[in-house]
Amino acid sequence: MKTKEFFEGIKDTLPIMVGVFPFGLAYGIVAQSIGLTPGETLLMSLLVFAGAAQFISLPMFAEGAGMAMIALTALLINLRHLLMGMSLAPYMNGLSLPQKALLTFGMADETYAVTISRAQAIGYSAAYQLGSNVTGYVTWALSTAGGILLGSRISDPLSWGLDFAMPATFLALLIPRLTDKLNILVCLVAAGVSIIAAVAIPGKWYIIIACLSAAVAGGILEGSENDEN
């Protein structure tokens, strides 16, 4: 493993974790408020490692939903990882199956954004992605543990605005990439479709629909741009 690139992955990911940490704190607090034990709360973060899916599952646990329904809901929410994985797949072709499994398990929205940005700028590095993934994983585990410790002191973490930490982080990742007309148009398409789908369709389908719409719009616009050139 290339140690230098591993630590570069850590360094480039750490600033983004400022927005992830409050989200993990909120999860740890809310999970206990609906009846999960500290051990169950932490184990879920260590094994599932999917913030949005974990949050969505909490009210379902509280309402007594079956594990099959909770698992299906988590799958639907995380279908966007298929698109993320597809974009990284060409860079990871030379890796072994165990290496791919390890790196894909640790891939989250933030670490994906850091990894793909680096891959497109100067080339892909498995060590860099591992460093980024480890940073995200450890941050999520520590923030969950912090939420568990704070659970008895803060009854309603969302009233503190902690739920805005994750959207703010995503915006911080997105805005620097809006450097040309194509990216801005794709962003507007995704935003518009997401809002319409969120209002018109129950559940979290708007996430997948917006991702697919953005991919289609990007392909069409990029194709038109290439034809003109």
Please list, in sequence order, all residues whose beta carbon lies within 8 angstroms of the beta carbon of residue 77, skipping any fewer than 6 positions away. 50, 52, 53, 56, 204, 207
- Smallest Cα–Cα separation from 44: which of 24, 63, 62? 24
Report pTM: 0.73
For 71-101, write each residue's pLDDT tens digit: 877 877 787 788 888 889 999 998 999 999 9
Dist CA 38 CA 82 (whole Å): 31
Dist CA 192 CA 106 (whole Å): 30
Structure confidence at residue 227 (pLDDT): 58
For 166-201, write each residue's pLDDT tens digit: 566 567 667 877 888 888 888 899 889 989 988 998
Please list, in sequence order, all residues whose beta carbon lies within 8 angstroms of the beta carbon of residue 115, skipping any fewer than 6 positions away. 9, 88, 107, 124, 128, 129, 132
Q: Mean pLDDT throughout 117-126?
A: 92
- Cβ atoms 78, 50 nearer than 8 A: yes
| Eight-class DSSP state of 37 | -
